[in-house]
Amino acid sequence: MLNKSSSLFAALVLGGAACGIKTNQIVIGQKTTLEKQLMGEAEPLSEEQMLVASVRSRGGGVHAGSADDLQSRAIAARRRQLYNRDDIGDLKVAGCLGEARGAILTIRPCDAPSEDLILLRKTLIDQENADRRAIIDWAIGIDPVLTVADRPQIVELYHRLILERAHPGDWYEGTDGTWAKK
């Protein structure tokens, strides 16, 4: 009986060794992940990412503070962006706001804005630009490959992503400094 079980076991092992499972591996580049982080579509941070960001931030990274500080600022920034999104969209449709180079939301001349609109527009611009800086700081702070020296490239990437998501008729500043509608 032992011989039969040994033979059966050997047949299963050897038979299994001849069979192989082939899997296709899909590699997603760093830019795609970074793009998702910048646009607020990233998965929650893993424990490993939090530890890496924590170690990097102690060494005089983007801003003094822990990874928790960077993450808290980024989450608060994203929430405020979502809260302000409709007002910003309305002002873009009216031509009162535009996307300047450097991922900066800026004032555009529009028809006779009221005093309330002028105040709202200024507040929204200040908040949105601060939120964008916080998200960029966070993206640089959690990525073990990126450094502060990469910031101009990250800002350029963020600007490109904003323009890709812009609606027809939104104003933007081109690379040559001229303004156009999408």
In a domain? residue 8: no
Nearest partner of 125 among 157, 152, 91, judged by Cα: 91
Q: For 87-105, give one letter per residue: b (16+ CB within 10 A) or e.
A: ebeebbeeebbbbbeebbb
**Residue 35's pLDDT is what?**
64
Q: Is residue 22 part of a domain?
A: no
Find the domain containing 73 and state its range: 30-181
Helices (H), the chain: 2-18, 30-38, 47-58, 67-93, 115-142, 151-165
Ranges of residues in the chain whose predicted pLDDT is under 50 = 2, 4-28, 53-64
pLDDT at 38: 65
The reply to whether 19 falls in a domain is no
14 within domain boundaries? no
- Count of domains forming the chain: 1
User: Do the domain assignments include residue 12?
Assistant: no
The pLDDT of residue 110: 87
